[in-house]
Chains A and B, each alone.
Chain A
Amino acid sequence: MTLPILSLTILTLLVGTVATFLAGSRARWVALATSAVFLGEIALIFLGFSGWPGYNGALVPGFSESESYVWIHLSWMRINYTVGVDGISLVLILLTGILQVATVIYSWGESKRPAAYFGLLLLTCLGSFGVFVALDILLFFLFWEAVLVPMFFLIGFWGGPQRRYAALKFFIYTHVASIVMLVGLLALVFYSGSSSFDFSSVYAGARSLSAVPQTFLFLALFFGFGVKFPMVPFHTWLPDAHVEAPTGGSVLLAGLLLKLGGYGLIRWAVEVLPSGLHTAQPILFFVAFLSIVWGSVLSLSQRDLKRLVAYSSINHMGIVLLAIALDSSLGLIAAVLLMFAHGIVSGLLFMSSGSVHHTFGSRDIASIGGITPTTPALSTLIMTGSLASLGLPALISFPAEFTALLATWNGLSYWVFLPLAILVVTAAFYLWMMQRLLFGTPRGIPAGAHDIPWYEGAGMGILVAFTVLFGILPGLLVNVIVSSPIHGWPGP
């Protein structure tokens, strides 16, 4: 009997979340302790990870540390509590742990109902963790929806002046998408003739479907997951949500919620419906290119730092979509790597824009500037984040983007020029932002502004450390990703 580590982790997070809600003024300590335990458990999961070539004793083929218990048993359908990890989910779980601890430390100074704030942060991470390990459609959907609620309250209660509008917009968009996704998932179960909601059984049934039903199922799922991505033109909830959300919420929104869409697309659509992906490929390419161009070009015209980073997220997730759509193993590796990189780097950037807001009372690039002499540490962090995001080697985004573009060249040959050209625009808006915000003569700086407090620096420092670590040694992640799916990687 091995340790049911995944269930244990869910339980820990659940207990930690409840304890945080009840802890009152000591909530941040409880949250920090929960995060520490969570990180420890992630380490255990890594240790127990069977890796390539598959795990013989696994309950669910291809997944390591899997557990499966009957949950609802009907004569014609079994719904199970089934969890398990493979390399893809493992990398994203690591991301969840890193972002959780960094966000908790960064938010150390939160004074508005801290117990509820930290509790909701943990709840978001709990939901994301659940999504990444769930291998049963109902369980997956449960966790998926569980993420929406805390985020809705984080935006709606701790947000900026337009928070009600943003929270509602966020909720309606993602909820409509969820419903389409749910219909798609249920259709997937019934069309595949599966007798349970389990991934492996659905997988086996659906892959043998003919191209037409696969395509329709794929398109439904793609829409459901794509809104989370977000794909243009269903993206306008993202900038609003980010601008209004509190910093911690923004970090998790960009770092985890967008990844849910990518993960869901890979796990429940790409792996399960290969012919569907094949037929829908042109649509995915179009949407991906549109998102890449649109996100980057719009970032150029933004004055609000957070809005700029939000649009750059659209650009980066567009590259993720492109990499997924390529339907090659290199592309999938790149997509997961990119999601990890974007989670870390956008977290760093959202934290630094939050700090800009705390320090200077505004995020308007056009009206404040030359902040480097006042806040050298913050400037360094903004610079690191921007350079990482625009793809500087030795920082995490570079190997990810590099792999993605290499995969694009392999798959689409000269089309790769479009994302490559957009890399220049991406560099342009970051450099221009840095020129206006960090350099030049100081302006718009309130008297008494001083550098960031230690906890904000520490929160960002964690992310910088991982940015550099995985930037220099991307192989650590790639090895985990590659060792995952026995479910037939497409050719190189």
Chain B
Amino acid sequence: MVSLADLFGYAFLVPLLMVLSFVIVGLAGTRLKRFEWGGWLAVGFAGAALVVGVLIAAAELMDPSRYTNVQFTWFHLPAAPGVFPNGFSLVAGTLVDPISALMLLVVTVVGFLVMLYSIGYMHHDHGLPRYYAELSLFLAAMSGLVIANNLFEFFLFWELVGVCSYFLIGFYYEKPSASSAAKEAFLVTRVGDVMFLLGIFIYFYYYATTGPSGGWAANGFVFVRGTTPFLAGAMGGQSTVLTVAGIMILGGAAGKSAQFPLHVWLPDAMEGPTTVSALIHAATMVAAGVYLLAVTSLFIGFTSTDQLAIVAVGGFTTFFAATMAVVHPDIKRVIAYSTISQLGYMVLAVGAGFAMVGLFHLFTHAFFKALLFLAAGSVIHAVGTQDLFKMGGLRKSMRVTAAAFAIGGLALAGIPPFAGFWSKDDVLSAVYSQLPSHPAYWPFFVLAVAAVFLTAYYIFRAWFLAFSGDKPRDPTLPHAHEGPWVMQVPLVVLSAFAVGAGLFIFWPNFQGLLLHGAGAAGIPPVYGPADLALSATSVFLGVAGIGLAWALWGHGKVFVLADSSPVQPLRRLLLNRYYFKVGFDWIGAKGVYTVARAADFVDRFVIDGTVHGFERMFAELSDRLRRIQTGVVSDYAAYVVAGLIAVFVLLLFVAPYLVAKFGGG
């Protein structure tokens, strides 16, 4: 009998389907007269992938202790004396376990819904074959990343999602700001990638020389479930090189997940279509960094120094990003900052040792953040602007969107029983439980708790600005109306998830999933509000934030800060994003480019100048030497005689002298 679990070997179908979609839509799409069909084709492929993803997740939920590793040899070097004494092979394959099944579910569900939503949202755009092809390729790469069974394969897909993100941010390539943002995103994440690469090198080297099978016989570099992390023994000694490796992995994750100080690219990435922001820059790709940290902590292991660094980066980013969201007038960027902030929570949890808690937050966040973005997309689609201060009163004409945005906001703010409450509370209580043994976590815990208040405030500030009041503040805006059904269905489905995804935690099978996901290495996750006082505090902070937002911005009010207000400098600082982007631009455009220009000058005038100097020297020399060539026979005769005399002098006087002095043979 065929059981659901047999599907595990077929997890590769998900990336394969999406690659097919990429090829077919990308190639055939340009031939179609009306592209409508191409879009639906891509949706169809995404739907098929969704079915596979859901079935795999279901099978995993039925029996959470299962994991299935299917692999083949990617390349194999035969044993060669002096080269690889035992041969050496690198494998590629798929690993389906609780973690990857969970992630696969997120990727396929959000991917399918966003694809569907795109049919309505992108209706009027040009270059749709490119759009759907790139989105398909992204989904292929992302699902490949999720089920990769070793770090090399992981890195391959990691870079591919980065490139897809680059293309999709720069989708409107004729817009200078879009192509600039795409470049910035690629470059900043590249900094992280380079660190990630070094981390892989260190781990690989360590694994190859001290790994279980010893020497270069190391049969690939696989995440093996059900065993302790292979570096666990080495970590007891606080190895410096492994600490460095951990920091490098953190760097890679920080680049992808836009953590401080590599966070600058994510707000600018909002230049891409809103659907892209929802799928890539909120729900899936940016979460890959967290996923990387989680699998590394579970399968490889971090040293305690690494853990502190991860907690510090996560906790600080949580608060840091939230402050910038407080003042921003652009609806998409507010949500982008909230993404950075929420990713900070996940990083915080993983750093404190609770990888599965971080992944649980990732799970709920994917749904409510995609919901927020798609709702914002609906608004932008309707009114054609992203400026919150031009909107207003939209709840009357866009009821579904207003409700969806509100549900997403409540989930984000951590109000029970919405999804965000359960996972965020898990994160906080998990970190709280570590405080007695790790007092150094205290400041970051406090920052994370404080960020709860800011989160609730800024997301409801956005809601009130956009939806409350009587009419838009900018009278020139077109009359808003809801999008077609393809845009509303995803909103409704995601709203359901945003309400209910957190309640999964009370389902024993889901608990089992998290428990087995943590495996032998992780600290088992905490279920539900473990500490009532902490939960009460965070809920109180959330409600207070919403209250403040209502007081300042409710009923269509606009809260204007006086120019003379002492908070103005702070506001300017926040609006300018702590001058981080200015600084990065300065380093990139001024610093490095100036060095490059100087180097070019050196190359042209010093190095090549030396060459030309030699050239001129020889030319000059030969010009002078040429002059003794007079053409007069007697002159030449004189040279001959002079030479003759010189030879005589050498032979008769110099040579005997030298022989006498040094002896001769």
In the docked arrangement, what's the CA distance between A373 and B76, Å?
Answer: 44
Task: List residues of B (596-623) whose CB comes within 8 Å of A's CBs.
Answer: 596-597, 599-600, 603, 607-608, 611
Contact B76 A475 (CB under 8 A): yes
Contact B82 A236 (CB under 8 A): no
In the docked arrangement, what's the CA distance between A411 and B76, Å?
Answer: 22
Contact A297 B77 (CB under 8 A): no
**Across-interface contacts of B82 in A (CB, < 8 A):** 329, 488-491
- B481 in the interface, Cβ–Cβ < 8 Å? no
Contact A233 B607 (CB under 8 A): yes
Contact A435 B179 (CB under 8 A): yes
Contact A405 B80 (CB under 8 A): no
Task: List residues of A (156-212) whose CB comes within 8 Å of B's CBs.
Answer: 169
Of B76, B204, B611, which is in contact with the most chain A CB atoms at under 10 Å from its CB? B611
Q: Majority SS of interface residues in chain A?
A: helix
Given known pairs A392-B159, A392-B163, A489-B80, the reply for A298 and B194 (CB within 8 Å) is no
- A416 in the interface, Cβ–Cβ < 8 Å? yes
In the docked arrangement, what's the CA distance between A491 and B607, Å?
Answer: 38
Whole-angstrom distance from the CB of B174 to the nearest CB of chain A? 6
Residue on A nearest B155 in the bound complex, by CB:
A393
- B657 in the interface, Cβ–Cβ < 8 Å? no
Stretch from B185-193, B371-379, B430-438, B549-557 forming part of the interface with A:
B185-193
Residue on B nearest A373 in the bound complex, by CB:
B174
Contact A410 B205 (CB under 8 A): yes
**Across-interface contacts of A431 in B (CB, < 8 A):** 183, 186-187
- B78 in the interface, Cβ–Cβ < 8 Å? yes
Task: List residues of B (149-193) whose CB comes within 8 Å of A's CBs.
Answer: 155-157, 159-160, 163, 170, 173-176, 178-180, 182-183, 186-187, 190-191
Stretch from A5-13, A74-82, A136-144, A437-445 forming part of the interface with B:
A437-445
Contact A440 B179 (CB under 8 A): yes
In the docked arrangement, what's the CA distance between A83 and B372, Å?
Answer: 69
Selected from B163, B174, B197, the residue in CB contact (under 8 A) with A439 is B174
- A98 in the interface, Cβ–Cβ < 8 Å? no
**Across-interface contacts of B327 in A (CB, < 8 A):** none
Task: List residues of A (43-99) whose CB comes within 8 Å of B's CBs.
Answer: 52-53
- B201 in the interface, Cβ–Cβ < 8 Å? yes
Selected from B183, B201, B603, the residue in CB contact (under 8 A) with A406 is B201
**Across-interface contacts of B216 in A (CB, < 8 A):** 492
Given known pairs A409-B198, A416-B198, A427-B190, the reply for A298 and B80 (CB within 8 Å) is no
Given known pairs A420-B198, A438-B173, A489-B82, the reply for A478 and B77 (CB within 8 Å) is yes
Contact B595 A297 (CB under 8 A): yes
Residue on A nearest B84 in the bound complex, by CB:
A492
Whole-angstrom distance from the CB of B441 to the nearest CB of chain A? 29
Selected from B80, B155, B197, the residue in CB contact (under 8 A) with A53 is B80
Q: Majority SS of interface residues in chain B?
A: helix
Selected from A233, A439, A482, A492, the residue in CB contact (under 8 A) with B170 is A439
Contact B183 A432 (CB under 8 A): yes
Whole-angstrom distance from the CB of B222 to the nearest CB of chain A? 17
Contact A428 B588 (CB under 8 A): yes
In the docked arrangement, what's the CA distance between A478 and B183, Å?
Answer: 33
**Across-interface contacts of B599 in A (CB, < 8 A):** 294, 297-298, 301
Given known pairs A300-B596, A482-B80, A492-B216, the reply for A423 and B74 (CB within 8 Å) is no
Selected from A302, A435, A479, A490, the residue in CB contact (under 8 A) with B183 is A435
**Across-interface contacts of B195 in A (CB, < 8 A):** 420
Residue on A nearest B241 in the bound complex, by CB:
A413
**Across-interface contacts of A434 in B (CB, < 8 A):** 183
**Across-interface contacts of B175 in A (CB, < 8 A):** 440
- B485 in the interface, Cβ–Cβ < 8 Å? no
In the docked arrangement, what's the CA distance between A171 and B596, Å?
Answer: 28
Task: List residues of B (618-635) whose CB comes within 8 Å of A's CBs.
Answer: none
Given known pairs A393-B160, A423-B194, the reply for A370 and B174 (CB within 8 Å) is yes
Selected from A440, A475, A479, the residue in CB contact (under 8 A) with B176 is A440
Residue on B nearest A421 in the bound complex, by CB:
B194
Contact B186 A301 (CB under 8 A): no
**Across-interface contacts of B595 in A (CB, < 8 A):** 297
In the docked arrangement, what's the CA distance between A441 and B180, Å?
Answer: 12
**Across-interface contacts of B588 in A (CB, < 8 A):** 428
Write out, one digit per residue, whether chain B residues 291-324 have a CB within 8 A of any chain A CB (1) or not (0): 0000000000000000000000000000000000
Contact B603 A236 (CB under 8 A): yes
- B75 in the interface, Cβ–Cβ < 8 Å? yes
Q: Which 6 pairs between the two chains have the least Cβ-Cβ distance?
A: A475-B75, A439-B179, A301-B596, A300-B596, A393-B156, A439-B173
Beyond A387-B163, A475-B74, 4 additional contacts (C-beta under 8 Å) are A405-B201, A431-B183, A439-B170, A475-B76
Interface residues of A (CB under 8 A from B): 52-53, 169, 233, 235-236, 294, 297-298, 300-302, 329, 370, 372-373, 387, 392-394, 398, 402, 405-406, 409-410, 416-417, 420-421, 423-425, 427-428, 431-432, 434-435, 438-442, 473-476, 478-479, 482-483, 488-492
Give 20 A-B contacts (CB < 8 Å), ordered by A residue. Answer: A301-B596, A301-B599, A329-B82, A372-B174, A393-B155, A393-B156, A405-B201, A410-B205, A416-B201, A428-B187, A431-B183, A435-B179, A435-B183, A439-B170, A441-B174, A489-B82, A489-B83, A490-B82, A492-B83, A492-B216
